[in-house]
Copies of this chain bind each other. A is one copy, B any other.
Amino acid sequence: MTQRPATIKGEATKARIVSAYAALIVSRGLAATTLDDIRAATGTSKSQLFHYFPGGKEELLMAVARFEADRAMDQMRARVPSLSSWAGWSQWREQLLGEYDRHGRDCPLGILIIEIDRASSGARALVTELTEQLQRMIQTGIENMQADGSVRADLDARRCARSLSAGIHGASALMLTTGSTAYLADVIDTAVEHLRSGIPLSADL
């Protein structure tokens, strides 16, 4: 497995192509975006495009998916502390629903996860990684709240976090299908209700 050392200029060009493609998908849709559009937007030649992405459109799509996933991850990581209080959970809920309402069916990450070849090992690794990171973020929040007594200590934080991650995954897919964010709101509200309802009024009851 030898890999040609990447030059700084080459990496910058690759990054420019990927972010231009991501922007085109949002503005005009995936189906309507051609390789010629990407070349026009980035001022690259056909041979340059295939030099950087020898696998063609499929490889480019994977790179855009990875780019959008990294961005989503960074946003999530910035929010980890917030899931350690109920105020943080409700802020997170509003942010998530707001993003979905803004993007709707044009959510680039959602489109890509659906459009890239899901059977490919790259796509599988990406979905698995995104889900696990989301799960860890939620789990850390629940554990912090168990430590300060806001969530019942006998709840299985990992199981609750995995269930909520799967719910968000499903609700996002249903959002792309139905165009409605109602499932996402129901998933988060039910999880919060579950985490909150276990706290007895008095610890001695």
Residues of A whose CB lies within 8 Å of any CB of B are 31, 114, 118-119, 123-124, 127-128, 131, 155, 159-160, 162-174, 176-178, 182-184, 186-187, 189-191, 193-194, 197-198, 205
Q: List 27 A-B contacts (CB under 8 A).
A: A118-B177, A123-B177, A127-B174, A127-B177, A131-B174, A159-B186, A159-B189, A160-B190, A162-B187, A163-B167, A163-B183, A163-B186, A163-B189, A163-B190, A165-B170, A166-B167, A166-B171, A167-B167, A167-B187, A168-B170, A169-B169, A170-B172, A173-B173, A193-B194, A197-B197, A197-B198, A205-B205
Nearest-neighbor residue (CB-CB) of A198 within chain B: B197
Interface SS majority for chain A: helix
- B159–A190 contact, CB under 8 A? yes
- B182–A118 contact, CB under 8 A? no
Q: Specify which of B128, B182, B189 is in contact with A178 (CB 8 Å cutoff).
A: B128
How distant is the Cα of A172 from the Cα of B173 in the complex, in angstroms?
11
Give the shortest distance, in Å, between A65 (CB) and chain B (any CB). 13
